[in-house]
């Protein structure tokens, strides 16, 4: 093993995960949600985000206009959560074995505990728990506290014919946790929340060993206490886990500075039905032939349970600052991103929103009064009249810098120079900070608008620079065309943003929504439309997914991505590693 045990820092055990802090039926924390104030304005409850406690008087009128909907505050589609919970399939022999492994407190058959481990945050799942039901969920939930317990649990499941489902933060949007109704075996969700420690930190070699159940916000706190960061910050960082990031092949907002998950992870332990996959040493790089660890990235729980990983860590940045840049159009902004990447000057995070998302960001601001109102009017006048930006075409880039003072200064200078080259203008650090933090607050909008008869979701892809603009245009056009062909109500909401940069291309997020009042089974209609968008993405040269993974939502598209030989190879690996299909819900 790299380093010596005597030189390692052993952090204190992490505080237990507070399961009650997170809502079971909507995204995020229980104390945070969008609601409508007595004055008829949208506002966010709680105190966790920049939007918290702020009334947003422009948001609802904007939604009414953009989607052509009345959006009457008291006309709601109220949730019937919790839905009926199916009776569990029982396997007394396995239950007895499990209790001998994890103890009486290490498992739960509580219906609500089972229900939450039976779904992620995909739109169809969230609609089902509010307005329908889920026909098959785990029959039992296990909470192992050590790698040894996971090993014994997997061995017992294989011996007793039980199906296992690894569970991290439950944030996936790919139906990965969806249990097949045809599964006759007992299904047990293996919740990793008790394995949430940073086991050790090697400050000299800048590596750490972290258990797979550690949630992103906990990892940040544990490493930050010793002056380090992992740097991996997906949109779901507050709730998702290290094990989930590895299993889904995740990407983070600051990947320009720290890399994607496969760049950060040096070693991973995984418990399979064939035993524990582990290593004796973790050098910086090696060439040792076929490496089974690499098959774990993107395995989505089909091969085993990730228990811990050794990861790169980085000193907390000397400087962390933000910036925002306005552009006359999305096309100008995309050209700016390309040049920034060509010159190797991309800051830690760079995002570009199209005009519709830019408009939304403006609606998520409190109404200014007095001097602030005057300043805002003057700024708008300068942008639209002096600079000549068209409010119906302009876009914006949100930028986060992290690094040394010299590094940030170089990147900041490049941003200014290249922004001017493409007709852009700086909008200031405060707008940049708010734009970056908006990522976390805006996630709560989906469940709020669902209650008000609007159904919406996001999906993503990656695409070469040469195809990026055409792909964005084609997907938007296809969605509008498909929507109109079904004579659905109102106007569809179709927008996109660029979220990650590569030398060869970009990652693109799409957001799509529509008014569902009067639409029969709107979740299924949405699925049809998203599948049409996915078809167009592949036609336009995009990837099946950039970081959400395949799950069950995109599984039917795999033959369009891989050759038959590739699919057969993957199936053979699955049969070799898991011959009894213990981890069965992904492959069925």
Q: How confident is the model at residue 281 (pLDDT cuts 50, 70, 90)?
A: confident
Catalytic annotation, pick one of 444, 483, 509, 526: 509
Q: Which of 422, 442, 462 represents a domain boundary (last residue)?
A: 442
Instruction: Supply φ then ψ for residue 157, to 5 degrees.
Output: -65, -40
Q: Which CATH number is 400's domain given?
A: 3.30.70.3450
d(CA 255, CA 116): 30
Q: Please give the structure tokens belonging to residue 326.
A: 């306005």
Lowest mean pLDDT among 383-392, 501-510, 578-587: 578-587
Does residue 280 surpass a pLDDT of 70?
A: yes
Residues 389 and 328 occupy one common structural domain: yes
In a domain, 389, yes or no: yes
Does residue 392 surpass a pLDDT of 90?
A: yes
Does residue 419 surpass a pLDDT of 70?
A: yes
Place of tokens 């996109």: 496
Residues 333 and 430 occupy one common structural domain: yes
Residues 417 and 347 occupy one common structural domain: yes
d(CA 383, CA 388): 6
In a domain, 108, yes or no: no
d(CA 23, CA 440): 15
Q: Angle, nearest 10°, between helix axes 465-485 and 330-342?
A: 150
Q: Which of 379, 409, 442 represents a domain boundary (last residue)?
A: 442
Q: Angle, nearest 10°, between helix axes 405-421 and 330-342?
A: 140
In a domain, 324, yes or no: yes
Give the model's pLDDT for residue 588: 38
CA 152 to chain centre: 31
Mean pLDDT of 47-68: 95
In a domain, 242, yes or no: no
d(CA 475, CA 348): 28
For residue 509, indicate whether it is catalytic. yes
Residues 458 and 409 occupy one common structural domain: no
Q: Output the average pLDDT for the chain.
A: 95
Residues 487 and 521 occupy one common structural domain: yes
Q: Which of 414, 442, 470 represents a domain boundary (last residue)?
A: 442
Length of the chain: 588
In a domain, 489, yes or no: yes
C-alpha distances out from residue 324 to 58, 268, 333, 341, 399, Å: 22, 37, 12, 17, 6
Residues 417 and 389 occupy one common structural domain: yes
> Which residues, at least 6 apart from 32, have a Cβ–Cβ distance to it below 8 Å?
44, 45, 46, 48, 49, 52, 444
d(CA 359, CA 49): 20
In a domain, 253, yes or no: no
**For the segment 181-208, what is each residue's pLDDT rounded down to a tens digit?**
999 999 999 999 999 999 999 999 999 9
Does residue 565 surpass a pLDDT of 90?
A: yes
Q: How confident is the model at residue 375 (pLDDT cuts 50, 70, 90)?
A: confident
Strand partners, 207: 202, 312
Does residue 2 surpass a pLDDT of 70?
A: no
Give the model's pLDDT for residue 300: 96
Give the largest Cα separation in the chain, rounded: 76
In a domain, 384, yes or no: yes
For 429, which DSSP code?
Answer: H
Residues 422 and 494 occupy one common structural domain: no
Structural domain including 476 reads 449-543
Give the model's pLDDT for residue 372: 77
Residues 485 and 526 occupy one common structural domain: yes
Residues 326 and 437 occupy one common structural domain: yes
Q: How confident is the model at residue 586 (pLDDT cuts 50, 70, 90)?
A: low
What domain count does the chain have?
2
Mean pLDDT of 25-32: 97
C-alpha distances out from residue 473 to 70, 127, 339, 487, 510, Å: 28, 29, 21, 22, 11
Say if residues 240 and 215 touch (Cβ distance below 8 Å).
yes
Residues 391 and 407 occupy one common structural domain: yes
Q: Which CATH number is 459's domain given?
A: 3.30.300.330
In a domain, 234, yes or no: no
Residues 418 and 495 occupy one common structural domain: no
Residues 491 and 434 occupy one common structural domain: no
**For the segment 477-490, what is each residue's pLDDT rounded down to a tens digit?**
999 999 999 999 99
**For the segment 99-109, what is each residue's pLDDT rounded down to a tens digit?**
999 999 999 99
């Amino acid at each position: 093993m790299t380093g010596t045990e005597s030189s390692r820092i052993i952090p204190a055990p992490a505080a237990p995960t507070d399961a009650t802090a997170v809502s079971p039926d909507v995204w995020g924390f229980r104390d945070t949600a969008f609601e409508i104030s007595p004055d008829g304005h949208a506002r966010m409850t709680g105190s966790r985000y920049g939007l918290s406690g702020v009334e947003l008087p422009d948001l609802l009128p904007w939604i009414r206009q953009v989607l052509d909907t009345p959006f009457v505050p008291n006309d709601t589609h109220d949730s019937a959560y919790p839905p009926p919970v199916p009776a569990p399939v029982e396997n007394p022999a396995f239950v007895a074995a499990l209790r001998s492994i994890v103890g009486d407190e290490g498992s739960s058959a509580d219906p609500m505990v089972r229900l939450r481990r039976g779904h992620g945050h995909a739109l169809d799942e969230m609609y089902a728990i509010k307005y329908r039901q889920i026909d098959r969920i785990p029959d039992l939930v296990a909470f192992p506290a050590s790698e040894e317990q996971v090993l014994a649990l997997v061995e017992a499941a294989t011996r007793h014919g039980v199906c296992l489902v690894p569970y991290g933060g439950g944030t996936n949007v790919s139906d990965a946790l969806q249990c097949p109704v045809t599964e006759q075996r007992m299904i047990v969700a293996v919740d990793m929340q008790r394995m949430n420690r940073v086991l050790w930190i090697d400050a000299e070699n800048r590596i750490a060993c972290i258990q797979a159940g550690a949630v992103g916000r906990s990892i940040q706190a544990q490493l930050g206490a010793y002056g380090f960061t992992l740097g991996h910050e997906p949109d779901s960082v507050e709730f998702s886990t290290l094990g989930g990031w590895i299993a889904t092949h995740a990407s983070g907002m600051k990947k320009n500075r720290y890399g994607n998950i496969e760049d950060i992870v040096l070693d991973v332990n995984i418990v399979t039905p064939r035993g524990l996959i582990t290593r004796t040493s973790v050098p910086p790089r090696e060439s040792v032939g076929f490496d089974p660890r690499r098959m774990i990235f993107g395995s989505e729980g089909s091969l085993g349970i990730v228990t811990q990983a050794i990861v790169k860590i980085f000193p907390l940045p000397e400087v962390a600052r933000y910036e925002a840049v306005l552009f006359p159009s999305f096309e100008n902004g995309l050209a700016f991103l390309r040049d920034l990447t060509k010159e190797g000057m991309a800051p830690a995070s760079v995002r570009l929103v199209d005009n519709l998302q830019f408009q939304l960001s403006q609606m998520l601001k409190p109404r200014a009064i007095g001097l602030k109102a005057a300043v805002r009017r003057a700024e708008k006048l300068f942008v639209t009249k002096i600079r000549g930006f068209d409010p119906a075409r302009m876009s914006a880039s949100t930028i986060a810098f992290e690094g040394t003072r010299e590094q940030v200064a170089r990147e900041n200078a490049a941003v200014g120079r290249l922004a001017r080259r493409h007709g852009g203008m700086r909008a200031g650090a405060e707008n940049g900070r708010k734009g970056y933090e908006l990522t976390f607050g805006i996630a709560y909008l989906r469940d709020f608008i669902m209650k008000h008869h609007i159904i919406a979701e996001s999906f993503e892809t990656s695409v070469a620079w040469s195809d990026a603009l055409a792909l964005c245009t084609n997907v938007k056009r296809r969605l509008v065309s498909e929507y109109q062909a079904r004579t659905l109500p109102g106007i569809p909401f179709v927008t996109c943003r660029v979220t990650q940069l590569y030398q060869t291309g970009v990652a693109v997020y799409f957001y799509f929504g529509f008014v569902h009042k009067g639409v029969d089974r709107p979740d299924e209609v949405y699925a049809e439309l998203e599948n049409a968008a996915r078809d167009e993405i592949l036609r336009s040269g995009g990837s099946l997914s950039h970081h959400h993974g395949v799950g069950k939502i995109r599984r039917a598209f795999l033959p369009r991505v891989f050759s038959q030989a590739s699919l057969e190879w993957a199936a053979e690996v699955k049969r070799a590693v898991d011959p009894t299909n213990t981890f069965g819900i992904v492959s069925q």
